């Protein structure tokens, strides 16, 4: 059958996409793929370390990963970028993360070329290329590649999944999501699940169900067209949310601690042939306690964290198994090329030495209290928690490598990857040791599908694909490496791999995310590793081979310059505030913003920025006798604020990172009728996150006041949103229920008057405060 874009006597020119369709001489027909082009599935697990999963010697039972490994190939030296958005953008484009402007997560972007967060049109995605060649395409789950300022009902939408080549999208746009109360999108439209957790809802199950439904529909309608499904689960990124029966499967399994787990995992990895017999455990990270340094309460809490993580991970893998089973039942499995990426970076150490029930605490530089966690240990993983485990478990899950997510050491950059293609790869259950990187997935898919990398897409000349297809290794376990050089950089942590050697330097500490590092980059200490004798970065040879180290540092400088890595920036949480990062502010210059009663699902950067400034909220509303519900709210149980009524009595709640709750309550119910309900929030000034005073008024009369000792400096939430007339997701406080808390009266408008963010105590700030409080 001739391609619709081609003349009868010639093949289509697939180097320029989309393909032209001749409408003058023949009926319009769909673009056709090359003969025998396989279906393609990419499954991405979040924040899973190299040594976590069963197929890679780890303690987490993952039957689907094990099945695919037994029926395909495991790669022992596959690398990622060490943080979420950068790995995903590199995966989608086949280019290094700085080359496509994603040097850090989308929420940390700055105006600099390697860090602006906007994929250039010169770097077409896998989905755009495959769709342009006749594939049906779907993205399910976590996206985390769209500039936050564009994640709103106003768009623009060209950098949303359906603007980046996907025919269908169901999932979430940001870094993480509450698995019990998610706020999702279908296409570009906000939706919420029909069920609550007590009715059996869980996000991982929902995402896989959507993936199965999409494939079933696609096959029913266009079975002659191959498909590309990108299934990116929120698991196993924090929060660790899973039903107790999954956690309880691992009860007692981790009581021996993280040091013992490292030893057991390394022994198992050697048995499997994932690492050589000569491999050693890398040195333990400084500042992290060994297991025998913990007291009994600390051990009990830490073990429960790991039990919860393991149950969360196994549950996610079992859901992936449902998708694989569906492909098999549809008769599609053998013709499907599956990439199962067991991590977009190494295991996360962002929980700090103790772990936390409330992740945003650590993000704001605060450690959780072990005694508090021990008192509510049975709730770990349920909707009242937002947990992430202690860094000791992250180090164990990255066995045998050093350090964690965010770092350029192998603990941050090396992850497991399994490839299965029943009709395309003869080998079964084998291991491949060739050195590869996430940017190699796109060229591998193109080679498998018989497609060229486009020279032009949408009229835009394409920048070179920087990845190298790993298809050469499918049939030859002894094939020589085709990738010999690769740089790494994340938040000032740097490394370069070159011809079997690695030079690497740690600048920051993953769980210290506020305040930067009090050390110039040129004073960072570089390490040197020879991978011909040292598999796991266990022996630093910098002192023995200073000339080699200097050579590799020059290679890094050249690679970093070419890929827009400079200038380096070590800020983490601070960059999550657009005013600090200097990126585009959707509401720059707007001191007054007004919202109608149906406005909602606004993310942090689309909502009014009330952080670190005085402001006045004025709600024009009508109540009846005993009116309940939320007038306006931002965030939820783990950080945010809410203006609401209980029996027509006005309330204002301020929730600092899920730890400190301040509630200002009105003295008596508002009478039935129309009222101005006003919150006057007077910020103290001083460093970000300073205190504030709050006054609650009804029709110009003060009805309540309160003092907030600490306010949120940088972000309320990565997953919760701003809404008028309801608090979607989790509630800011327990005065009203989750999800079903809509305001029972009538809201005409909610207006925000915002003071400028100026130097604390300056005349400009005092004048502005006086103006908005008149």
Task: Report pLDDT for 516.
Answer: 77
Mutual angle of helices 441-449 and 84-93, in 10-degree steps: 30
pLDDT of residue 24 exceeding 80: no
pLDDT band, very low/low/confident/very high, at 26 (cuts 50, 70, 90) = low
Beta-strand ranges (E) seen in 588-738 are: 592-595, 615-623, 629-636, 639-646, 649-656, 660-665, 673-683, 692-698, 701-708, 722-724
First and final C-alpha spacing in the chain: 75
- The pLDDT, as a whole number, for residue 176 is 97
Specify the 3-state DSSP secondary structure of 359.
helix
Model confidence over 321-341: pLDDT tens digits?
999 999 999 999 999 999 999
CB burial of 566-589 (b: ≥16 within 10 Å; e: otherwise) equals eebbbbbbbbbbbebbebbebbee
- Checking if the pLDDT of 446 tops 80, the result is yes
Q: What is the mean pLDDT of the chain?
A: 94
Residues 282, 536: Cα–Cα separation, whole Å: 6
- Mean pLDDT over 564-586 rounds to 89
With bands split at pLDDT 50, 70 and 90, how would you rate the model's confidence at 580? confident
Instruction: Please say if the pLDDT value at position 3 is more than 90.
Output: no
Is residue 7's pLDDT more than 80?
no
pLDDT at 731: 98
Split at pLDDT 50, 70, 90, the class of 581 is confident
The residue-averaged pLDDT of 210-221 equals 98
Q: Flag whether pLDDT at 9 surpasses 80.
A: no
Q: Is the pLDDT of residue 267 over 90?
A: yes
pLDDT at 29 over 90: no
Segment 314-319 mean pLDDT: 98
The pLDDT of 417-443, averaged and rounded, is: 98
Stronger pLDDT, 699 or 5, i.e. the higher one: 699
Closest CA to 337 of 416, 440, 424: 424
Which of 158-162, 385-389, 433-437, 514-518 is predicted least confidently?
514-518
pLDDT digits (tens, 9 = 90+) for 457-467: 999 999 999 99
Q: Which pLDDT tens digit goes with each residue over 515-524?
A: 878 899 999 9
pLDDT of residue 585: 82
Predicted confidence at residue 466, as pLDDT, reads 98
**pLDDT at residue number 25:** 52
Between CA 401 and CA 676 the distance in angstroms is 60
Does residue 536 have a pLDDT over 50? yes
Strands 436-437, 73-79: parallel, antiparallel or unpaired by DSSP?
parallel
> Is the pLDDT score of 345 beyond 60?
yes
Query: Is residue 757 scored above 80 in pLDDT?
Result: no
Does pLDDT of 560 surpass 50? Answer: yes
Q: Which of 84, 122, 14 is nearest to 465 (CA)?
A: 122
> What pLDDT band is residue 11 in, cutting at 50, 70 and 90?
confident
3-class SS letters over 502-548 = EEEECCCCCCCCCCCCCCCHHHCCEEEEECCCCCCCCCCCCCCCHHH
pLDDT above 60 for 213: yes
CB count in 10 Å sphere of residue 383: 18
Residue pair 413/96 in contact by the 8 Å Cβ criterion: no
Q: How many CB atoms lie within 10 A of CB 290?
A: 11
| Percentage of the residues of the chain whose pLDDT score is greater than 70 | 95
pLDDT surpasses 50 at 765: no
Burial of 524 (0-12, 13-18, 19+ CB in 10 A): middle
Give the per-residue pLDDT at 756.
81
pLDDT at 749: 98
Q: What is the mean pLDDT of residues 604-631?
A: 96
Least confident of 6-15, 114-123, 522-531, 607-616: 6-15
pLDDT tier for residue 588 given thresholds of 50, 70 and 90 = confident
Residue 215 sits at φ, ψ, to 5 deg, of -65, -40
**Integer CA distances (angstroms), 188 to 124, 146, 166, 723, in order:** 20, 12, 12, 17
Element (H, E) at 430: strand 430-432
> Looking at residues 419-443, what average pLDDT do you find?
98
Distance CA 538, CA 445 (A): 34
Greater confidence (579 vs 628) lies with 628
Per-residue pLDDT of 383-414, as tens digits, reads 999 999 999 999 999 999 999 999 999 999 99
For each of the domains in the chain, give its residue range(s) and CATH number, in order of start: 33-457+464-486 (3.40.720.10), 585-772 (2.60.120.200)
Lowest mean pLDDT among 9-18, 305-314, 417-426, 585-594: 9-18
């Amino acid at each position: 059958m001739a391609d619709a874009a081609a003349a009868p006597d010639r093949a289509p020119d697939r180097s320029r996409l989309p393909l032209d369709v001749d409408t003058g001489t023949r009926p319009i027909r769909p673009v056709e793929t090359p003969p025998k082009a396989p279906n393609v599935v990419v499954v991405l697990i979040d924040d899973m370390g190299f040594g976590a999963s069963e197929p890679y010697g780890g303690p987490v039972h993952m039957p689907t990963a094990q099945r695919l490994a037994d029926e395909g190939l495991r790669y022992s030296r596959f690398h990622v970028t060490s943080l979420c958005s950068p790995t995903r953008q590199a995966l989608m484009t086949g280019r290094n993360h700085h080359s496509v402007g994603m040097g850090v997560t989308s929420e940390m972007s700055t105006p600099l070329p390697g860090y602006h967060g906007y994929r250039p049109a010169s770097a077409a995605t896998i989905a755009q290329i495959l769709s342009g060649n006749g594939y049906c395409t779907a993205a399910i789950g976590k996206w985390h590649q769209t500039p936050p300022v564009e994640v709103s009902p106003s768009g623009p939408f060209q950098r949303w999944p359906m603007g980046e080549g996907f025919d269908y999208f169901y999932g979430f746009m940001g870094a993480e999501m509450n698995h019990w109360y998610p706020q999702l999108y279908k296409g570009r439209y906000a939706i919420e699940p029909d069920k609550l957790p007590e009715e059996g809802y869980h996000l991982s199950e929902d995402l896989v169900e959507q993936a199965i439904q999409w494939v079933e529909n696609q096959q029913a309608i266009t079975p002659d067209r191959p498909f590309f499904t990108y299934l990116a689960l929120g698991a196993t990124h924090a929060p660790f949310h899973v039903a107790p029966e999954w956690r309880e499967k691992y009860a007692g399994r981790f009581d021996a601690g993280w040091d013992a787990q490292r030893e057991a995992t390394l022994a198992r990895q050697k048995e499997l042939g994932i690492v050589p017999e000569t491999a050693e455990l890398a040195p333990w990270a400084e500042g992290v306690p060994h297991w025998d340094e913990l007291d009994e309460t600390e051990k009990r809490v830490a073990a429960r964290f790991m039990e919860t993580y393991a149950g969360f991970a196994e549950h996610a893998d079992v859901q992936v198994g449902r998708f694989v089973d569906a492909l098999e039942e549809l008769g599609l499995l053998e013709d499907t090329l599956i990439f199962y990426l067991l991590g977009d970076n190494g295991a996360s150490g962002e929980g700090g030495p103790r772990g936390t029930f409330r992740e945003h605490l650590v993000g704001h530089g605060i450690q959780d209290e072990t005694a508090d966690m021990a008192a509510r240990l049975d709730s770990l993983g349920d909707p009242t928690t937002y947990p992430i485990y202690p860094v000791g478990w992250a180090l164990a899950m990255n066995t045998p490598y050093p350090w964690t997510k965010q770092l350029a050491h192998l603990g941050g950059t090396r992850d497991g990857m399994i490839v299965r293609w029943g009709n395309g790869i003869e080998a079964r259950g084998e291991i491949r040791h060739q050195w590869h990187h996430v940017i190699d997935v796109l060229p591998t898919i193109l080679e498998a599908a018989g497609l060229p990398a486009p020279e032009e897409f949408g009229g835009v000349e394409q920048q070179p694909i920087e990845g190298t297809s790993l298809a050469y290794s499918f049939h030859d376990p002894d094939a020589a490496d085709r990738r010999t050089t690769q740089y790494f950089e994340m938040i000032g942590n740097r490394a370069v791999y070159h011809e079997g050697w690695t030079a690497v330097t740690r600048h920051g500490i993953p769980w210290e995310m506020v305040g930067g590092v009090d050390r110039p980059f040129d004073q960072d200490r570089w390490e040197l590793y020879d991978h011909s004798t040292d598999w796991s970065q266990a022996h630093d040879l910098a002192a023995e081979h200073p000339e080699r180290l200097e050579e590799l540092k020059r290679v890094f400088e050249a690679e970093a310059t070419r890929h827009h890595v400079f200038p380096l920036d070590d800020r983490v949480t601070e960059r999550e505030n657009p005013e600090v990062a200097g990126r585009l502010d959707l509401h720059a210059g707007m001191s007054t913003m007004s919202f109608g009663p149906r406005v909602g699902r606004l993310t942090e950067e689309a909502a009014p920025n009330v952080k670190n400034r005085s402001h006045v909220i004025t709600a024009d509303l009508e109540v009846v006798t005993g009116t309940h519900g939320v007038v306006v709210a931002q965030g939820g149980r783990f950080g945010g604020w809410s203006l609401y009524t209980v029996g027509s009595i006005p309330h204002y709640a301020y929730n600092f990172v899920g730890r400190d709750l301040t509630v200002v309550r009105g003295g008596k119910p508002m009478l039935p009728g129309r009222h101005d309900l006003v919150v006057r929030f007077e910020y103290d000034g001083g460093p970000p996150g300073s205190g504030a005073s709050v006054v609650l008024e009804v029709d110009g009369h003060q009805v309540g006041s309160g003092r907030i000792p600490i306010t949120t400096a940088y972000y309320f939430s990565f997953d919760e949103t701003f809404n008028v007339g309801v608090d979607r997701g989790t509630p800011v406080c327990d005065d009203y229920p989750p999800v079903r808390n809509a305001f029972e009266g009538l809201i005409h408008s909610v207006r925000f008057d915002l003071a400028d963010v100026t130097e604390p105590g300056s005349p400009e700030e005092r004048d502005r405060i006086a103006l908005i409080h008149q």
